[in-house]
């Protein structure tokens, strides 16, 4: 069942939790639901994950289903591809998305192409969880936002949750999918709280965006951390400028219909995503809107993101490079 529930009592009851806790809950529910599901990655077992996401899962499900691996992304990513091809559902954690390059052969040439190369006769139910984003002073090799790379590549779906509910719902959909999905988790919002449906069958269909706040004057399409910052800004501007905030959620497939409907209503678009501005997520969103709602636009589309530079180690420089709500406000002011 693919449903999206809100708050209430009975089957629709919710509980406030962090994004970290929501991801752990999704993993726990899917491990409990399907014996073919298992988790693997560096320090996911006894250590509980580098960001404490897997927590105590190893105590409940044991070391066979919550597997610590050597520091060898190519090795355990390849093992996951083989395991999926032979009937299981691995959930692989790549500690930092910056390290995906080490196992890009296994992802791009094997995982993404397997079903195609075998004429649709095989399934490849691999879920890859990985962290991304700056803001923790971890320098450029641990702070990149690379989701555009894999949203671009055929054969792989890519999602980027921004709220606890979407973190749970999208991850559960990914694990249940018979095709590979990469879940990009912004590490700076793990402690962000929100209501999460407790129904074991709560999922969010991959390929759907969400209008988080309705508005009339400008649409802000945002991802991950920038969703929360955009919502805070929209509240601050209420009474002055009516801002509609759309959480993109799914990078590929992308929910073009929701984006276009919003822009047809507001006539203006700002795209906020913590990735480099050139050749990326911003450009794809902008192009889809231009192709489908060009005559609804009353002003040039604005982009908010990272300049084409690496994330600095210096806290002051890192703060300067990363996008914030103030950058979204400046973009809005340029066109409203």
User: Which residues have a catalytic role annotated?
Assistant: 73, 142
Residue of 217, 206, 207 lying closest to 335 (CA atoms): 217
* Total Cβ atoms within 10 A of residue 297: 17
And the tokens for 119? Answer: 């004429």
Helices marked H in the chain — which ranges? 19-33, 57-61, 73-85, 104, 114-117, 147-151, 164-176, 225-237, 256-266, 281-293, 315-321, 325-335
Rounded to an integer, what distance in angstroms lies between the CA atom of residue 161 and that of residue 261?
Answer: 21
Residue 315 in contact with residue 185, Cβ under 8 Å?
no
For tokens 């809100």, the residue is 6
Rounded to an integer, what distance in angstroms lies between the CA atom of residue 248 and that of residue 305?
Answer: 15
CA distances from 77 to 43, 50, 90, 128, 278 (A): 15, 18, 10, 9, 29
């Amino acid at each position: 069942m693919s449903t999206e529930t809100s708050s209430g009592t009975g089957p629709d009851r919710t509980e406030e939790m962090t994004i970290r806790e929501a991801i752990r809950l999704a993993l726990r529910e899917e491990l409990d639901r399907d014996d073919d599901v298992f988790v693997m990655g560096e320090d996911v077992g006894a250590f509980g994950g580098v960001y404490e996401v897997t927590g105590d899962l190893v105590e409940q499900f044991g070391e066979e289903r919550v597997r610590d691996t050597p520091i060898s992304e190519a090795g355990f990513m390849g093992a996951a591809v083989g395991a999926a091809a032979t009937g299981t559902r691995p959930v692989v954690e790549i500690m930092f998305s910056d390290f995906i390059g080490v196992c890009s052969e296994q992802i791009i040439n094997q995982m993404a192409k397997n079903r195609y190369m075998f004429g649709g006769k095989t399934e490849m139910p691999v879920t890859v969880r990985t962290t991304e984003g700056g803001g923790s002073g971890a320098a450029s090799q641990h702070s990149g936002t690379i989701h555009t790379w894999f949203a671009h590549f055929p054969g792989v779906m890519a999602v980027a949750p921004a709220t606890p509910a979407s973190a749970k719902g999208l991850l559960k959909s990914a694990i249940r999918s018979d095709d590979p999905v990469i879940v990009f988790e912004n590490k700076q919002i793990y402690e962000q709280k929100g209501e999460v449906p407790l129904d074991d069958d709560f999922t969010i269909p991959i390929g759907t965006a969400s209008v988080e706040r309705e508005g009339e004057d400008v649409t802000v399409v945002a991802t991950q951390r920038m969703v929360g910052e955009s919502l805070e800004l929209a509240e601050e501007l209420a009474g002055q400028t009516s801002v509609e905030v759309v959480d993109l959620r799914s990078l590929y497939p992308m929910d073009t219909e929701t984006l276009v409907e919003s822009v047809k209503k507001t006539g203006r678009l700002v795209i906020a995503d913590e990735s480099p501005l050139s050749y990326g997520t911003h450009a794809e969103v902008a192009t889809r809107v231009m192709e489908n709602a060009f005559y609804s636009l009353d002003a040039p589309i604005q982009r908010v993101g990272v300049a084409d530079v690496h994330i600095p180690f210096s806290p002051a420089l890192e703060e300067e490079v990363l996008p914030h709500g103030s950058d979204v406000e400046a973009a809005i002011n340029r066109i409203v």
